[in-house]
């Protein structure tokens, strides 16, 4: 049995070079990252050393680590030609990474091209990551429908990750992670219920950062949505744990059940939990790291 972390980030050489070749956000100036929605960020080079990251994964007891494109960069929202250069670099290296690494594919959501995404998935990637702000309403689901149809056809999962933050001028550095990212995930959770699931009944989906704790609003949803808000947990919907601890995870488990939670750490921006079961015991740790990721990725128990 393999312990899995479904959410980490690792920038490979080709992707770094492609970011440095740009003069408009997102771009790298040396190791300083410039994006539209966040202040300049000093990237720690060692965080993206493949050998070092493999050692950290081994120390954490992980047999598989799924890497994803950093959606807050805004790559997916670039015009197709600009996005393609960065996406090609990301996928070329991601597909060649050694064990324990695997990767989520990524796709342009400004100019959707399902054929290009199919080519990336042909490289053997785990599924497709899309930015949450591309799946926040009915229009977003209509635009991204060809990509989600492709996932259903191939029986592959969707990973929903925060997208670019709004301009944080005058806000502290932690603001994007605490406000826009959480708001995006909250909206994406309810948008999937309203627009995604009816259109894609067989799609397996995982929401980053416990879906911004949106599941905890189930009582309010039931009160406001009447019968529509009283359905049970969707067995093909998962949430991952990045940046949260025992209190939040336990609260979400009380709503969704143990079977809906998978481990995601968001390394290098956060660390994996020191207690894999988040204080809920060995059975929970086994479910979060082995059983549930297997169901998310393969559809099989």
CA angle 257, 258, 261 (to 5 degrees): 105
Is 0.85 surpassed by the pTM of this model?
A: yes
Cβ(162)–Cβ(211) below 8 Å: no
With a CB cutoff of 8 Å and minimum separation 6, the contacts of 88 are none
| CA angle (264 as vertex; 44, 62 as ends), nearest 5 | 85
- Rounded distance, CA 17 to CA 264, Å? 27
- Grouping H, G, I as helix, E, B as strand and the rest as coil, residue 182 is helix
pLDDT (tens, 9 = 90+) of the chain, 301 residues, equals 799 999 999 999 999 999 999 999 999 999 999 998 788 999 999 999 999 999 999 999 999 999 999 999 999 999 999 999 999 999 999 999 999 999 999 999 999 999 999 999 999 999 999 999 999 999 999 999 999 999 999 999 999 999 999 877 778 888 899 999 999 999 999 999 999 999 999 999 999 999 999 999 988 898 888 766 666 789 999 999 999 999 999 999 999 999 999 999 999 999 888 888 999 999 999 999 999 999 999 999 8
């Amino acid at each position: 049995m393999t312990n899995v972390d479904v959410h980490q980030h690792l920038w490979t050489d080709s992707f770094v070079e492609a970011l440095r070749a740009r003069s408009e956000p997102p771009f790298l100036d040396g190791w300083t990252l410039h994006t539209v929605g966040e202040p300049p960020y000093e990237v720690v080079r060692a965080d993206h050393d493949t050998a070092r990251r493999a050692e950290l994964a081994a120390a954490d007891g992980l047999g598989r680590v799924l890497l994803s494109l950093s959606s807050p960069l805004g790559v997916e929202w670039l015009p197709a030609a600009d996005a393609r250069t960065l996406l090609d670099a990301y996928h070329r290296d991601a597909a060649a990474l050694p064990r324990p690494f695997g990767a989520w594919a990524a796709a342009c959501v400004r100019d959707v091209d399902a054929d290009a995404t199919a080519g990336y998935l042909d490289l053997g990637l785990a599924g497709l990551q899309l930015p949450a702000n591309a799946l926040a309403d009915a229009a977003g689901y209509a635009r991204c429908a060809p990509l989600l149809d492709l996932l259903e056809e191939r029986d592959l999962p969707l990973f929903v990750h925060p997208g670019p933050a709004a301009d944080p001028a005058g806000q502290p550095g932690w603001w994007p992670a605490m406000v826009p990212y959480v708001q995006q995930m909250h909206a994406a959770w309810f948008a999937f219920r309203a627009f995604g699931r009816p259109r894609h009944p067989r799609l397996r989906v995982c929401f980053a950062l416990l879906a911004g704790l949106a599941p905890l609003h189930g009582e309010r949803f039931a009160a406001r949505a009447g019968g529509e808000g009283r359905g049970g947990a969707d067995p093909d919907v998962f949430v991952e744990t990045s940046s949260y601890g025992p209190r939040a995870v336990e609260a979400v488990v009380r709503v969704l059940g143990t079977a809906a939670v998978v481990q995601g750490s968001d390394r290098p921006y956060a660390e994996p939990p020191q207690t894999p079961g988040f204080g809920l015991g060995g059975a929970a740790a086994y479910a979060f790291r082995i059983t549930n990721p297997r169901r998310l990725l393969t559809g099989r128990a």
